[in-house]
Chains A and B, each alone.
Chain A
Amino acid sequence: MASFTASSVSFSAVSCSFKQNKVSSLGKASLSFSGNGSPSRRLPALRFRVSCAAKPETVNKVVDIVRKQLALPADRDVSGESKFATLGADSLDTVEIVMGLEEEFGISVEEESAQSITTVQDAADLIEKLLEKK
């Protein structure tokens, strides 16, 4: 467990067949970290919210688009965990961010999926899922 890295990237190597409902039954019992590995970033407790986690490059591109849309100062921290609402995005911003992501990645996001995006990570994960389907 010591080599467990904070980012969920390591899981993407594993087959992306972890469906959310399957994992949650595993999650409670077997995956308990005692924190002695001092991960470089605090892992939100094992949220396998989507079946696959996105590459850092994707997350970074999303972060760039979000920064631009919300005109965030350089010293404002934005990461995968950042919630759009907390960053000050209103509903119009969120839609424009999704539009920006569509343009950047050449994908098309469905209404229902767009509505479920609340964090940068959500957006990045969805993007990769859509890219895979292409």
Chain B
Amino acid sequence: MALKLNAINFQSPKCPSFALPPVASLRSPKFFMASTLRSGSKEVETVKKPFGPPREVHIQVTHSMPPQKIEIFKSMEDWAETNILVHLKPVEKCWQPQDFLPDPASDGFQDQIKELRERAKEIPDDYFVVLVGDMITEEALPTYQTMLNTLDGVRDETGASPTSWAIWNRAWTAEENRHGDLLNKYLYLCGRVDMKQIEKTIQYLIGSGMDPRTENNPYLGFIYTSFQERATFISHGNTARLARDHGDLKLAQICGTIASDEKRHETAYTKIVEKLFEIDPDGTVLAFADMMRKKISMPAHLMYDGRDDNLFDHFSAVAQRLGVYTAKDYADILEHLVGRWKVENLTGLSAEGQKAQDYVCGLASRIRRLEERAQGRAKQAPRVRFSWIYDREVQL
């Protein structure tokens, strides 16, 4: 089957990075989650032009799923209608951002805003850095809808295709769209953050896109989304908990509500992959190992605000320190998925399949061991300025 390899070749050498905290190195927890930026691996490289967002320099592999497997997804359409679309919520039953925000039609509107801002004053800068990073990630939704529609066999061909897969893609996007809207409005009202810098970052990010290396392959794609939905569930769940700790119950509700959507989406995506393991265990376990070897890169890893060349690394360092999303979470998600999909019990695998099975089943403990080691040797990280909070400093 024809593998198209487009060599994306940026010849310009990497820009010398400004004094880097030891966060983005082989030994640090961020090794797994981040950024392929300075990961030390030669597999994927990123270059930065001065005053420009980071771009990935690696060969983009396309259409890696053998075309005959597209049939599998066609034949799954009825199954998807019955088993996957049920995880969507009818719009009439859905929450909307307005449910959690001051009501412009009410006399109490300005008081409600005042109260919101009072509560926000009690919340520290480092929390806001993480919340902003999460909001920016959500606001890059066009990229994710695009990514779903790159997948062979399940894409929305016309933008209004009646297939179950296309219905899922659109409806999923519609549900997710509320997340960015809600967080955007909250952050706008709270007065703690520099909206223009945030908006700029969003524009850069959507312009950059992302390449999770799913190669138009729905096996890889749905494994990736399964992982990601669980990651966002954990992450928003943690920001909810922290908001509550800081005394802002309304913000906690906001984050918690978003988290529950993510959980529902996780359920759907993991069900799809579970079915794939049933239909094609060898192909699916190979895909799982492939994605894990490539590492699950975070959707916003190309984020840039026009100022900080290492913005994503700085953001993830804060998220790590606050316990919002950590290397331990990465390992936990992996372990969860291995269990959810009963990878250990797979039989009848090819030799390659067995190697993949071994790799995937052993990986979480390797990551944990590395992480323990890194924590044991963690040096004091620097404080870094974030343009999102008017260049105030935050501890990494």
Which residues of A approach B to under 8 Å, CB–CB?
85, 90-92, 94-96, 98-99, 108, 111, 114-115
B22 to A, closest residue via Cβ: A111
30 A-B pairs within 8 Å (CB atoms) are namely A85-B42, A90-B41, A90-B43, A90-B293, A91-B31, A91-B39, A91-B40, A91-B41, A91-B43, A92-B366, A92-B367, A94-B26, A94-B40, A95-B26, A95-B27, A95-B370, A96-B366, A96-B370, A98-B26, A99-B370, A99-B373, A111-B22, A111-B25, A111-B26, A111-B28, A114-B25, A114-B26, A114-B27, A115-B26, A115-B40
Which residues of B approach A to under 8 Å, CB–CB?
22, 25-28, 31, 39-43, 293, 366-367, 370, 373, 377
Main secondary structure of the interface of B (DSSP, over half): loop
Is B25 within 8 A of A115, CB to CB?
yes
Which residues of chain A have C-beta atoms less than 8 A from B377's C-beta? Answer: 108
A103 and B256 CA atoms in complex are apart in Å by 44
Which residues of chain A have C-beta atoms less than 8 A from B42's C-beta? Answer: 85
A115 and B39 CA atoms in complex are apart in Å by 10
How many A-B Cβ pairs are below 8 Å? 36
**Shortest distance in angstroms between B52's beta carbon and chain A's nearest beta carbon?**
25
**Shortest distance in angstroms between A100's beta carbon and chain B's nearest beta carbon?**
11
A77 and B251 CA atoms in complex are apart in Å by 60
A109 to B, closest residue via Cβ: B27
**Shortest distance in angstroms between A4's beta carbon and chain B's nearest beta carbon?**
34
Which residues of chain A have C-beta atoms less than 8 A from B293's C-beta? Answer: 90
Which residues of chain B have C-beta atoms less than 8 A from A115's C-beta? Answer: 25-26, 40
A112 to B, closest residue via Cβ: B25
Known: A92-B366, A95-B370. A111 touches B27 (CB 8 A): yes
Known: A85-B42, A115-B40. A91 touches B370 (CB 8 A): no
A91 to B, closest residue via Cβ: B41
Which residues of chain B have C-beta atoms less than 8 A from A95's C-beta? Answer: 26-27, 31, 370
**Shortest distance in angstroms between A80's beta carbon and chain B's nearest beta carbon?**
20
Beyond A90-B293, A111-B28, A114-B27, list 8 extra A-B contacts (CB 8 Å). A91-B41, A91-B43, A92-B370, A95-B370, A98-B26, A99-B370, A111-B25, A111-B26
Which residues of chain B have C-beta atoms less than 8 A from A96's C-beta? Answer: 366, 370
A92 to B, closest residue via Cβ: B366
Interface centre among A90, A91, A115 (most CB of B within 10 A): A91
Interface centre among B40, B293, B367, B377 (most CB of A within 10 A): B40
Among all A-B residue pairs, the 6 with the closest Cβ atoms: A91-B41, A111-B25, A95-B26, A115-B40, A111-B27, A91-B40
**Shortest distance in angstroms between A104's beta carbon and chain B's nearest beta carbon?**
15
A111 and B373 CA atoms in complex are apart in Å by 13
A90 and B41 CA atoms in complex are apart in Å by 7
Which residues of chain A have C-beta atoms less than 8 A from B41's C-beta? Answer: 90-91
B379 to A, closest residue via Cβ: A111
Which residues of chain A have C-beta atoms less than 8 A from B373's C-beta? Answer: 99
A98 and B31 CA atoms in complex are apart in Å by 15
A111 and B378 CA atoms in complex are apart in Å by 11
**Shortest distance in angstroms between A110's beta carbon and chain B's nearest beta carbon?**
9
A34 and B27 CA atoms in complex are apart in Å by 44
Interface centre among A85, A90, A92, A114 (most CB of B within 10 A): A92
